[in-house]
C-alpha cells in the first residue's frame, strides 16, 4: 500500500510539472504573438508584451459597439479598400457605357394625335381609337459602336457580380468575426470560473491535510487541476484578444491606434 501511495504521489508530481510547463508554454506563446503584432505595427518590442503571470493577462476589447451585423457590414463597406476599388471601377465602366450610348442615341421628334371614332370608346381597348406618329433619326448606328457597347455591358455585369459576391463574403466574415468575439468572451468567463473552482478545491485539500484527514496526493492533484485551469485561461484570453484583432481587420479599421486602444462604433 505504501509503495502504491508513493507511486501515485510521484505520478501526480509529474502531472503537476507537466501542467506548470504547459502554462509557461502558453504564456510564452502569448508573448511571441504580442511581439509579432508589435513588429507588424512597427511598435517598440516592450509595448503590450504579455506579463509572465497569467493573473496579469489583459482582455483587450478592441471593438465596442451596439450595432448589429448589417450595420457592421455597412461600416466595413465604407472602409474596406477592395470594395472601394470595385465601386470606382464600376462607376468608370458605367460612365463608359453612357459615353457609348450617347454616340447612338437617336434624335426623336414625336407627333401625337388623338381622335375618337364612334359614339363610345371601348373600356377594354381604350387606345384603339388613338393614333401616334413619330420620326427618329439615328446619329450613329455603326457596328463597332454596338460591339463596344456590348463588351462594355458585359464588363459592367461581371464587375457587378464580383461586387455582390465580395459584399456577401464580407457580410459572412463580419458575422463570423463578431460571433467569434462573443464565443471567446464566454470561454474566458468559463475559464475564469474553472480557476476559481480549482482554487477552492486546492484550499479545501490543504485544509483537510492540516486537519489530518487529507492526503498529500489530493493536494497535488488539486494543484494540478488549478494549473490546468490557468493554462485554459491563458489560452482563452489569447483567443479572445485575437478575435477582436480579427474583427478590427474585418471592419477595415486596422491601424496602430485601433489595435492598441480600440474603436467605438
Task: Return the percentage of the chain with pLDDT > 90, whole number.
Answer: 0
CA dihedral for 20, 21, 23, 28, sign (positive or negative) = positive
Helices in the chain by DSSP H: which ranges?
2-40, 69-79, 81-102, 143-210, 216-250, 256-261
Tell me the pLDDT tens digit for each residue of 135-177: 434 444 455 556 666 777 777 788 878 887 887 888 888 888 8
Closest residue by Cα to residue 221 from 212, 234, 208, 233:
208
Window from 44-48, 95-99, 138-142, 152-156 with minimum mean pLDDT: 44-48
Any idea where the domains of the chain sit in the sequence? 2-87+156-264
By C-alpha distance, which of 264, 260, 261, 263 is closest to 40? 260
Each residue of 198-238: pLDDT tens digit? Answer: 888 888 888 888 888 878 888 888 888 888 888 788 888 88
Give me the chain's average pLDDT, please: 70
Mean pLDDT calculated for residue range 178-194: 85
Amino acid at each position: 500500500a505504501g509503495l502504491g501511495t508513493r507511486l501515485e504521489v510521484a505520478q501526480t508530481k509529474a502531472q503537476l510539472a507537466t501542467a506548470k510547463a504547459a502554462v509557461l508554454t502558453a504564456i510564452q506563446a502569448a508573448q511571441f504573438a504580442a511581439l509579432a503584432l508589435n513588429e507588424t505595427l512597427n511598435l517598440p518590442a516592450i509595448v503590450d508584451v504579455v506579463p509572465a503571470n497569467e493573473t496579469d493577462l489583459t482582455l483587450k476589447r478592441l471593438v465596442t459597439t451596439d450595432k448589429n451585423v448589417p450595420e457592421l457590414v455597412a461600416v466595413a463597406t465604407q472602409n474596406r479598400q477592395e470594395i472601394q476599388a470595385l465601386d470606382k471601377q464600376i462607376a468608370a465602366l458605367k460612365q463608359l457605357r453612357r459615353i457609348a450610348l450617347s454616340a447612338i442615341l437617336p434624335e426623336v421628334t414625336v407627333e401625337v394625335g388623338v381622335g375618337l371614332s364612334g359614339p363610345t370608346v371601348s373600356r377594354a381597348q381604350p387606345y384603339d381609337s388613338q393614333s401616334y406618329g413619330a420620326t427618329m433619326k439615328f446619329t450613329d448606328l455603326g457596328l463597332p459602336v454596338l460591339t463596344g457597347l456590348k463588351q462594355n455591358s458585359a464588363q459592367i455585369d461581371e464587375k457587378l457580380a464580383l461586387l455582390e459576391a465580395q459584399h456577401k463574403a464580407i457580410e459572412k466574415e463580419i458575422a463570423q468575426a463578431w460571433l467569434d468575439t462573443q464565443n471567446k468572451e464566454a470561454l474566458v468567463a468559463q475559464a475564469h470560473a474553472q480557476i476559481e473552482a480549482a482554487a477552492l478545491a486546492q484550499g479545501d485539500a490543504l485544509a483537510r491535510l492540516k486537519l489530518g484527514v487529507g492526503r498529500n496526493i489530493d493536494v497535488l492533484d488539486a494543484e494540478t487541476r488549478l494549473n490546468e485551469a490557468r493554462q485554459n485561461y491563458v489560452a482563452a484570453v489569447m483567443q479572445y484578444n485575437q478575435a477582436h484583432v480579427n474583427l478590427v481587420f474585418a471592419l477595415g479599421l486596422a491601424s496602430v491606434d485601433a489595435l492598441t486602444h480600440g474603436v467605438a462604433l
